[in-house]
Structure 1
Amino acid sequence: MSETMVMGIMKDAIQTGIIVAAPILVGSLLVGLLISIFQATTQIQEQTLTFVPKLLAVAIIGLLTGNWMLHQIVAFTNRIFDVIANIIN
């Protein structure tokens, strides 16, 4: 196994991780930003106000994109198994 192959696998792993995590992270970021703007404009400084909307947003995004995320992870796993099969031969 060469350095190029290892670097390619690592690049694919990091790229897959970022792509799979992006919808939940971006959704949580946007909800947090909207709540922060709401808190700043109304001067409501309740720290627990952010938890429930973020939790709901993450759950909804997980339900909507979970199937796609699973397919991305399975495709990555299949690519890894193909690499392992090619190393052995």
Structure 2
Amino acid sequence: MTEPLFYDVLRQGLWISAIISLPILSVALIAGVTVGLFQALTSVQEMTLTFVPKLGAIVAVFWVTMNFMTETLVAFFTDRLVPLIAGG
């Protein structure tokens, strides 16, 4: 394996990890901002109020996007990594 090929595969792997994590991170951000705004408007400073809705939103988005994540990782592994491991 040459050095440019190694860096290309590494770049593709990092890009795929960014694409896969984007839905969960964006929903966590939106839920956190929404709950923070609600807390600021109502002066309710309960710690579990920030944790539970964010966790629920993350679990729901993970459940919905689990198929996309799995297909993306399997495609990267079978199309890119297996031929390199096999020596192709």
Same structural fold, with TM-score higher than 0.5 when normalized by the shorter chain: yes
Give the equivalent residue in structure 2 for 1:29. 29
Structure 1, unaligned runs of 5 or more: none
Give the whole-Å Cα distance in 2 for the aligned partners of 1:22 and 1:81.
25
Could you tell me how far apart the structure 2 residues matched to 1:59 and 1:45 are? 24
What residue number does 2:83 align with? 82
Paired residue secondary structure (1:12): helix
Distance (whole Å) between structure 1 residues aligned to residue 85 and residue 67 of structure 2:
26
2:70 aligned with 1:67, yes or no?
A: no
Identity percentage of aligned residues: 37
2:10 equivalent to 1:10? yes
1:44 corresponds to: 44
Runs of at least 4 residues of structure 1 off by over 4 A? none
Could you give the per-residue CA deviations for residues 7-64 of structure 1, whole angstroms, max 9, x where no partner exists? Answer: 1011011011111111111111110010001111111111111111011101110111
Q: Which structure 2 residue ranges, 5 or more long, are not aligned?
A: none
Q: Normalising to structure 1: TM-score of the pair?
A: 0.91
- CA–CA distance in 2 between the matches of 1:53 and 1:38? 12
> Number of aligned pairs?
87
**Separation in 1, partners of 2:27, 2:74:** 23
Look up the equivalent residue of 2:9 and give its one-letter code.
I
Coordinate RMSD, CA, aligned: 1.1
TM-score by length of 2: 0.92
